Structure 1
Amino acid sequence: MPKTMGYCRVSSMDQNETRQILKMKSHGIDDRYIFIDKKSGKDFNRLEYQLMKRFCEEGDLIYIDSLDRLGRNYDDIINEWKYITRKINANIVCLDNETLFDSRKFKSMGDIGKLMEDQFLSLLSYVAEQERKKIKQRQAEGIIIAKSRGKYKGRKKIEINSKFQKIYTTWKDGEITATNAMELLGLKRNTFYRRVKEYEANLRSQLKQRED
């Protein structure tokens, strides 16, 4: 029996995905079928998205809040959309523009529908990617201004707290992969291994103090 699923994405751990989740629930989507990522839309290397895609079958329906929640990379958005709607033969609906982005409507129009879908998708994907570039440019300009005023302090250092310790132990015990650990902590690869190095150095220091 076809499933109805919802995909939600925010760009970072401190952003709130509640609004998107409420939209999914208003369409009767069960909690177990709502997939949530807290990660940049620059690529599709996202744990929950990949899980949803593997779970997706022919005839399923996926709701997303808007096209940029799916992603912000022009080529990848088009490839992922076509993979789900044409290879898997499932459907996608963008809630902020259902008139243009409801793959069921395009399928009902045959070959001309495919042509129209490709054109609309190319246009909106391009807009989504350009917006991502503008965001990065504004961030870079903001950092330059802050540095010139002596107010830029860089990213706030992430504390090695009990959550990190628990996930670190789970990872070291082989129960999860390093990628899973990074996702759970919301850390990029370099930051994750830097924190691991700091944590392990601290453990060695504590051990040495006890031995002394």
Structure 2
Amino acid sequence: MLIGYVRVSKADGSQTTDLQRDALIAAGVDPEQIYEDKASGKKDDRPHLSACLKALRSGDTLIVWKLDRLGRDLRHLVNIVHDLTDRGVGLKVLTGQGAAIDTTTASGKLVFGIFAALAEFERELISERTKAGLASARARGRKGGRPYKMTPAKVRLAAASMGQRGTNVGDLCVELGVTRQTLYRHVSPTGELREAGHKVLTQRR
């Protein structure tokens, strides 16, 4: 069975899927077997894509108009196609840069193999750059990793506020832009600094 997926980035009516639908129907997809999302390709939450992928069965072929309609990025696309391949499902791209991809054919599989190799190469480059960046930062006396959500100013405000009766913890969390868990990890309910709070106040800038 041929199953199609179409997507436009905006849901305000300024974009339509008509061109994509017409191309899929011309390729033999039953209009009733076309799934549609109106959301940015960078979003994880695309309910109809999830439904489409779940509906595919061994022997089916997923057809998309262009490659960028399906994956958030190359790695996401590679993961999707690897999963489909493991399930015996093919992928065919009708136009654009990925038009040579048709995993139901030997030549199409070869093209996708090149895409997969490029994605792996990209992962390795990112990993190498990250390690090099952390090593360079350590050599300059800086530690890598994500910045603290709690700044010194936020910790001081949290300690002062938690030490006062009548403080609404929920409102305080909204004001600070942190979760209750983060707040209590840094400051006790009575306003005393905890280890994480002391660490923020003494961290190097």
Shift of 1:81: 1.4
What CA distance in whole angstroms lies between the structure 2 residues aligned with 1:43 and 1:70? 11
Provide the residue aligned with 1:12 in structure 2. 10
Report if aligned partners of 2:75, 2:119 keep a CA contact under 8 Å in 1. Answer: no
Provide the residue aligned with 1:69 in structure 2. 69
Provide Cα deviations, 1:17-75, integer angstroms capped at 9, x if missing partner: 11001111112322210000001111442111111111100000111011101123232
What CA distance in whole angstroms lies between the structure 2 residues aligned with 1:61 and 1:88? 11
Report if aligned partners of 2:20, 2:65 keep a CA contact under 8 Å in 1. Answer: yes
What CA distance in whole angstroms lies between the structure 2 residues aligned with 1:96 and 1:124? 21
What CA distance in whole angstroms lies between the structure 1 residues aligned with 2:67 and 2:120? 7
- Off by >3 Å, runs of 4+ in structure 1: 121-126
Provide the residue aligned with 1:118 in structure 2. 113
Q: 1:104 to 1:125 in 2, by over 3 A?
A: farther
Shift of 1:94: 0.5
Report if aligned partners of 1:6, 1:33 keep a CA contact under 8 Å in 2. Answer: yes
Shift of 1:80: 0.7
How do 1:1-212 and structure 2 match up within 5 A? 3-13=1-11, 14=13, 15-84=15-84, 86-96=85-95, 100-106=100-106, 113=109, 116-121=111-116, 123=118
Provide Cα deviations, 1:121-149, integer angstroms capped at 9, x if missing partner: 455999xxxxxxxxxxxxxxxxxxxxxxx
Work out the percentage of aligned pairs sharing the same amino acid. Answer: 25
What CA distance in whole angstroms lies between the structure 1 residues aligned with 2:88 and 2:48? 20
**DSSP-derived class of the 1:35 partner:** strand
Q: 1:29 to 1:125 in 2, by over 3 A?
A: farther
**DSSP-derived class of the 2:28 partner:** coil
Gaps of at least 5 residues in structure 2 are 122-205
**Structure number, greater radius of gyration:** 2
TM-score, structure 2 length as denominator? 0.51
What CA distance in whole angstroms lies between the structure 1 residues aligned with 2:120 and 2:5? 17
TM-score, structure 1 length as denominator? 0.49
What CA distance in whole angstroms lies between the structure 1 residues aligned with 2:10 and 2:75? 22
| Larger proportion of helix | 1
**DSSP-derived class of the 2:41 partner:** coil
Provide Cα deviations, 1:127-178, integer angstroms capped at 9, x if missing partner: xxxxxxxxxxxxxxxxxxxxxxxxxxxxxxxxxxxxxxxxxxxxxxxxxxxx
How well do the aligned residues superpose, as a CA RMSD in angstroms? 2.8
